[in-house]
Structure 1
Amino acid sequence: MNCIESLKQKAKANKKRIVLPESMDRRTFEAAAVALKEDFADIVIIGTDADIKKYGEGLDFSKAEIIDPATSKDTERYIDLLVELRKSKGMTPEEARKLIMEDYMFYACLMVKDGAADGVVSGACHSTANTLRPALQIIKTKPGTKLVSSYILLEVPDCEFGDNGIFMFSDCGLVQNPTSEELSEIAASTAASFQHLMGSEAKVAMLSHSTMGSAKHADVTKVAEAVKLAKENHPEYLIDGELQLDAAIVPSVADMKAPGSRVAGQANVLVFPDLDAGNIGYKLVQRLAKAEAFGPVLQGIASPINDLSRGCSSADIVGVIAITVVQAQAE
């Protein structure tokens, strides 16, 4: 059983209500049809009758709840809720109504805030910023969270590295140029995500073009300092570095470059030094190794609100729905 199939089984054990606000994209309805047929999530789709008919034609999503903000009995209450949540920013009822009617991600997040849903999956036709902004304004961060970040869950076929070919790459979608402290928090958050989602121990490699001081540069120093902070602040996780990619995942290289490391040669969580490296890295693996890639999955939001690559397939959305259900089970 592959990774996502395993997560679907976990999701079935305690189904959650997941909102899909992108009714202007057929991939949403294709994914909803699969999730409902396989019965691992309850699905809510936000959209107008016209969009439902246009983009859902020929697909069976009859078990989904369809909500049109223009006619829903809850809309006025959600307008009031949004005004209350944003009153310090001067939000007016007119502005709140416009946001809810024109950007369904706001309506989806208000449903979660209200307890009417457990999570949201969006981003197939919106940027990460458009997905994250309503989440931060309405759902806000988990108590004690220092940084909201993201990871990509990758399953590489015929791969002996990582956790039988399963990896989390972070951060690939959100934090542009993290400081040492931010990198240490990304490492800890992703370790926690891996262990909850996969049920096995995270082994976190902090990546660099240097291994254990083999090169000298400010970029290397940043990662080395992040490793030090992560070990001090999060001793419950196995985190090591700085490590080059081959030293992180290939045992024979690790024996030469980082002997004695409990992570080198065994890493299943890869933390990249900046967003450029992370985003390029995961897309290289996805396209050249024909890996399945799911996310960006967000970490640090008070409820599960997850992003998608705009190049995603409907199968990718199905996978992120399953991840979101399993995340919601822990809330």
Structure 2
Amino acid sequence: MTVRAVLSPIATAAGRRGELISTLSAENGPDVGPVTDIFDTLRPTAPDFSAALDIALDREGGVLIGTGEPMFDSRLAAAVGVPQFLVAAGEQDHLQLQQLSGQLVRVGRAPGGIAVMDGTSGSSALEAEGTAVPFLALDKVDEAEPRTPVIGPEVFERNLIIQARAAKAHIVLPEGDDDRILIAADQLLAKKVCDLTILGDPAAMAARSHELGLDLSGATLTDPTRGDDLERFAAEFAELRKSKGVTLDEARETMKDISYYATMMIHLGLADGMVSGAAHTTAHTIKPSFQIIKTVPEASIVSSVFLMVMDGVLWAFGDCAVNPNPTPAQLAEIAVVSAKTAAQFGIDPKVAMLSYSTGSSGAGEDVEAVAEAVTIARESAPELSVDGPLQFDAAVVESVGQKKLPGSSVAGKATVFVFPDLNSGNITYKAVQRTADALAVGPILQGLNKPVNDLSRGATVPDIVNTVAITAIQAGN
């Protein structure tokens, strides 16, 4: 059970924070349960949204006294699924209440009410303004009804960690000479997300982790250029590639490559998945997978999907990282497998096959290719909700979608977006990521027998943590 409400002391009430907490905590005070002060709990650091979210979700009932910054507190309340109450001291705060209430209503997060420290029963000033927020005494806060949590980036990341932890996977990270990998590994181990093997020079990794103040004692540090496993891996690779004329000596040299070594670990069951690419190209990460673990029988290609997370919005974009110019049959396959990946992460898949034209309004080779892909996807996955060609606005805005493609179960409601080529897909995901403050998780590779995921060479530590968590979840499914 989480907290039941978030209280934001504003204006005059902000200066009476201690009094508010004492009143709520008093034996003869309102029956609101335990009172948690976010500042006292997070001190000495400044409030961080993820840390505040952990506090709110880990508490057993009661109320949370928020930061007093109403937008921060309202977003926290929405993420937890509880009402936010603005706490005023009385009529003297009515101007600030008018302004803040209006701001919250405009962003779709109207407060559940206004709690009044001095027991004022109402505010004629607010009522005259028509503010759609009831005045309540503090003893009414405990009667607040729960709300549906709004999934945003921080909630999604938190859920990823919980889901990955339950998978109990073993992930190999080949790039142990990159500080970002070591820092991410420290965080993953601290959160008990998965077991880890990190490839590189064990002495050098241990020394560097000590310099950075990291604890990698829970990871296995392995040198891929020596040891008994290298010879075993080489023999297995030579057997796998004998039809290509690969000798044992050639296989031995190949296995010294970190990506090949890590991929062979997965093939032989010594790891469940791999995350690489922070310091290497996508081709360097994926090529060994084609040669060793191969694709699932129903896949003709490997593709990718990005999970795009915003407050109250969770989308999947494919393919934005692998296939430059997919054929109609490949587009259809990307649509079907992207829908399956989206479902793994809580998205109800409604697949929009995107184009510069909607339905039959336009013509041309590119539009016809998308229309053909829709036909193929429907034939291969009759149960899948898929439609197109659709322009982006017709895919996401219901009024536009139903006007341009009446009766469609996808138009205006799409959650999975399949781009016609890599050019448009990569541009769009980066545009959404950078302009809509979206969390972009991926690329998540699809179609391989075992999970292997690629990092951008500009990946941040949170990117790496998220990708490892995704890989662990894939391994557990």
Match among 151, 156, 169 for residue 3 of structure 1: 156
1:117-156 deviation per Cα after TM superposition (whole angstroms, max 9, x unaligned): 0000011111111111001111111122222111111112
Structure 1 residues 54 and 283: alpha-carbon distance in aligned structure 2, compared to 1, 3 A threshold: farther
Asked if residue 113 in structure 1 is aligned to residue 113 in structure 2, the reply is no
Partners of 2:461 and 2:341 in 1: CA distance: 23
| Deviation of the 1:88 alpha carbon | 1.0
**2: CA distance between counterparts of 1:310 and 1:287?**
17
Is 1:49 the counterpart of 2:49 in the alignment?
A: no
1:61 counterpart (206, 216, 222):
216
Contact 2:316 2:338 in 1 (8 A): yes
Per-residue CA shift, 1:174-225, capped at 9, x if unaligned? Answer: 1110111110000000001111222x42011000000112211110000011
For residues 210-249 of structure 1, what are the alpha-carbon distances to aligned partners after superposition, in whole Å with 9 as ceiling and x for unaligned?
0112211110000011111111111121111110011111
Aligned to 2:398: 251
Contact 1:23/1:51 (<8 A) preserved: no
Which residue number in structure 2 is paired with residue 220 of structure 1? 367
Q: How does 1:232-243 map to 2 (within 5 A)?
A: 232-243=379-390
Aligned-residue offset at 1:51: 4.3
Return the index of the structure with the highest Cα Rg.
Answer: 2
2:142 is matched with none
Q: 1:55 to 1:294 in 2, by over 3 A?
A: farther
Q: Aligned ranges for residues 178-197 of structure 1 at < 5 Å?
A: 178-197=326-345
Q: Distance in 2 between matches of 1:201 and 1:293?
A: 18
2:302 pairs with 1:155 = no
Give the 5 Å matches for 1:77-226: 77-101=232-256, 103-156=257-310, 158=311, 164-198=312-346, 200-226=347-373
Query: 1:139 touches 1:302 (CA, 8 Å); kept in 2?
Result: yes
> CA 1:54–1:216 in 2, change beyond 3 Å: closer, same or farther?
farther
The answer to which of 88-97 and 222-231 deviates more is 88-97
Shift of residue 73, structure 1, vs aligned partner: 2.6
Rounded to whole Å, the distance in 2 between the matches of 1:142 and 1:269 is: 22
| Unpaired runs of at least 5, structure 2 | 1-150
Q: Distance in 1 between matches of 2:216 and 2:179?
A: 12
- CA deviations 1:26-45 (Å, max 9, x no partner) are 11111111111111111110
Moved over 3 A (4+): 53-57
CA deviation map 1:38-66 (0-9, x unaligned): 11111110111354146533222221111
Task: Please give the TM-score of this superposition, normalised by the length of structure 1.
Answer: 0.94
Distance in 2 of aligned mates of 1:221 and 1:318 = 40
Gap change, CA 1:271 and 1:55, over 3 Å in 2: farther
Is 2:228 the counterpart of 1:73? yes
The match for 1:23 is: 176
Q: State the partner residue of 1:268.
A: 415
Specify the alignment match of 2:166 in structure 1.
13
SS of 1:74 mapped into structure 2:
helix
Q: What is residue 323 of structure 1 aligned with on the other side?
A: 470
* AA aligned opposite 1:21: P
- Code of the residue aligned with 2:298 in structure 1: it is G
Aligned to 1:288, which of 435, 452, 462?
435
1:13 counterpart SS class: helix
Q: Deviations over 1:74-96 (max 9, x none)?
A: 11111111111111111122222
Give distance in 2, aligned partners of 1:111 and 1:79: 12
Question: By how many angstroms is 1:292 displaced?
Answer: 1.3
Instruction: Indicate conservation of the 8 Å contact 2:441/2:467, yes or no.
Output: yes
Q: TM-score, normalised by structure 2?
A: 0.66
- Percent identity of paired positions between Structure 1 and Structure 2: 48
Give the unaligned 5+ runs of structure 1. 159-163
Moved more, 24-33 or 249-258: 249-258
SS in 1 for 2:366: helix
Distance in 2, Cα, partners of 1:257 & 1:51:
60
Higher relative contact order (CA 8 A, sep 6+): 1
